[in-house]
Amino acid sequence: MVNDYSHLKDNLRRALDAIGEAASQAHRDPSEVRVVAVTKNHPPEAVRAAFQAGISLIGENRVQEALAKRGELEDLDVTWLMIGHLQRNKVRKALEVFHQVHSLDSMELALALNRVLSEGAGEGRRPPLPVLLEVNVSGEAAKHGVMPQGALQLAETVLERCPMLDLKGLMCVGPLTEDEREIRSAFASLREIRDRLEERLLIELPELSMGMSSDFHLAVMEGSTMVRLGTCLFGPRGVF
Ligand SMILES: *Cc1c(COP(=O)(O)O)cnc(C)c1O
């Protein structure tokens, strides 16, 4: 597939306008919402184009793919975010490329990350590693993420047993539906889970990563601080 990313700046401007619109409807400051460029299944040039357009948060969902791209982009000062399911046996490799993990979905993964980081992995960067807990707010079987009722225990595990991890907030993928009310209510429940965790654990969890190309305006209305945009910035995904 040929894709020169010449429309990226226009696409980004449109997305930022939509974020501004949704934020103002919700009486929020649009600067509270950052854009993560999701470059999975796009070549390294997509990351470079995003950086040139002013985006420094890059989301990838596969370790090998991110490693391959990162090798060609050593000159870019971007923050690599893991947003896909991370297998425990890939933790060491993942820490070679990712600066943050936004898809922390199990106690085992938290402990594995903590262990590998305490052995000194994650070359060139200092722990603690910023993490977000991925919560399966829609309860769909195909989705990753800890179930809402397991979020407290997972958060406690991170706080009590994982000094190498820095819990910053929560992440979710919205439900697969076109029903806007259902989508909004899923995003609202992520925010409510966050609020409850803050109360129970007496911590601050400022980050809510929610909203993708098709639903980010709804996520912004419900308090998103990070929208993860792929298709609406880069066009359809090819095979990298
Ligand atoms: C692919 C992906 C995105 C981006 O999806 P688009 O619909 O292309 O914007 C966001 N978040 C996660 C977790 C993804 O896997």
* pTM, 2 dp: 0.96
Q: Where are the domains of the chain?
A: 8-233
Strand-pair category, 34-38 with 226-229: parallel
When pLDDT is averaged across residues 135-146 and rounded to a whole number, the result is 92
Whether the CB of 132 sits within 6 Å of ligand 1: no
More confident position, 5 or 151: 151
Digit-coded pLDDT (tens) for 78-104: 999 999 999 999 999 999 999 999 999
| Separation CA 228–CA 48 (nearest Å) | 17
Residue nearest to atom 10 of ligand 1 (CA): 228
Could you tell me which residues come within 8 angstroms of residue 179 by beta carbon, excluding any fewer than 6 positions away? none
Q: What is the pLDDT of residue 2?
A: 53
Residue 112 CA, chain-centre distance (Å), reads: 19
Among residues 233, 192, 196, 198, the alpha carbon closest in space to that of 210 is found at: 192
Q: What is the pLDDT of residue 142?
A: 86
38 alpha carbon to ligand 1 midpoint, in Å?
Answer: 6
Mutate which of 12, 19, 34, 38 for ligand 1? The one with the most ligand atoms within 8 Å of its CB, which is 38
Among residues 194, 85, 81, the alpha carbon closest in space to that of 137 is found at: 194
Residue nearest to atom 11 of ligand 1 (CA): 228
Residue nearest to atom 13 of ligand 1 (CA): 83
Residue nearest to atom 4 of ligand 1 (CA): 230
Please provide the distance, in angstroms rounded to a whole number, between the alpha carbons at the two ends of the chain: 10
Among residues 172, 177, 240, the alpha carbon closest in space to that of 212 is found at: 172
* CATH code reported for the domain at 8-233: 3.20.20.10
Digit-coded pLDDT (tens) for 110-126: 999 999 999 986 666 67
| Separation CA 21–CA 92 (nearest Å) | 41
Whether the CB of 228 sits within 6 Å of ligand 1: yes
